[in-house]
Chain A
Amino acid sequence: MMSILNDISENLQRGKAKVVKELVQQAIDQGISAKEILEDGLLAGMSVVGEKFKNNEVFVPEVLVAARAMNMGTALLKPLLAGDGVESHGKVVLGTIKGDLHDIGKNLVKMMMEGKGLEVIDLGTDVAPEKYVEVAKNEGCQIIACSSLLTTTMGMMEDVVKAAEAAGIRDQVKIMVGGAPVTDEFCKKIGADKYTADAASAADAALELCEAMA
């Protein structure tokens, strides 16, 4: 049983989506629980990819194909997971800030967070500050995560913090910020909660924050 989960993880790391899909089906047929396949197979593999990405051992293309393989696997598991008592570890609303159309980094964050078992609502790019807050409020997200790649748009992140205050949910959500020009200092200055330098660290931090809030 362990070996097939290992195979899933290995193949996911190499982005072999078809093989991953076949192996997940085999594992299901062998009677392994969806929860185990998810956590010890798919998520374990994605976590290795995240670690390697953080250490500059793999790069954007490798992460994208690994994430695609993970999605192929989770698609098979979804109908089974509901019955298996697997709960989401937390809920995140994510997007690139208004005025900014960069999405590679934001997409990586999404994949890494999903790889940690978090539920992610992706608002895409060019997202107005109020929009994050509205979705967070309506969907009960614990985390708002904003990305900015431009020095000219990063200032807009402060408006997200203000919008959360205005909506009266500032104490119910943690606000995370990231992107090339963003720094920890900037995060503190605008009153956000957490800055991380890369996608994998963002996912780790988000999970930690969710667990702390649970």
Chain B
Amino acid sequence: MELYLITGFLGAGKTTLLRNFIRLFSQKRVYLIINEFGKAGIDGTLLQELDAAMAEINNGSIFCSCRLDQFEAVLHQVTEASPDVVLVEASGLSDPTNIQKILANPDFSGISYRGSICLIDACRFCRVVETARMCRKQVAVSSLALVNKIDLASEEQREEVKNLLLEINPGITIQETSFGNFLPEWLELVQPQPQPQLDEALASQDITLQKACVLFSAETTLTQLKGFLTLVGEETYRMKGFVQTTEGLYLVDCVSSAIQLSPYEETVSEEEVGKLVLLAGKGMQLRKSIKQAKAWYGEVIKEVQYGS
């Protein structure tokens, strides 16, 4: 049983990459472990179209090591099905070194760890790496850095990203791509890396990650929803969820202030509807901007929960 890890910061395009990546194993029995944020569990829903078994870790190890037990439980479940390939999409902010620690457990001796791919957003990487410590760890444990979205990036940005990646992990191989495309020959570039010696800055805690869950009423108009996303987007890494508006069900999937809203035709479980999960990090005024947005759209915001 082979296991691949796909890491990358929030919004780098991991879900899209996974869709392409999974095609490399079309002759094999693949099991996906999706470990993406919040109760919204969107990635799970979207990936149902792919013919692969899938386990989902909801509300799981988003930022933290606190729900590693969930990952472990799911991994047990997966090994019982004994697929040929296991693909783990590590959540965009989670610590990939934890996953390797779990694989060291003798229970999982049947799993051969094949390595980690780190997906990089060519336009945003240099900025997020400054504030989110996890970015560095994700690069440090990976043998292949796949720089995505180069169609949107300038020549200088691409150069800057490459230099930065090599600075963090001198041994890393870098490939560039767009739209999460993954060439078959890149697969051999994915190799297990020895556990990196993390310097002190990486070893200490990052307590600046923020999460909020905003509950919208079904009375929300599309204009109100857009207004909310515009007000708050700047102060987030990611906003994701399904919102029932007066104009129908919408999927919200935003990276920072780039607002992406699309009508959603498929069915979504009742408890997921109306829940928008927002993730932010150091220096972002998530609480303040939500408070401000509440002043404007208070009548359609039913509840705000903060957590991490």
Answer yes or no: A and B touching, Cβ < 8 Å: no
Residues of B within 8 A of A (CB): none
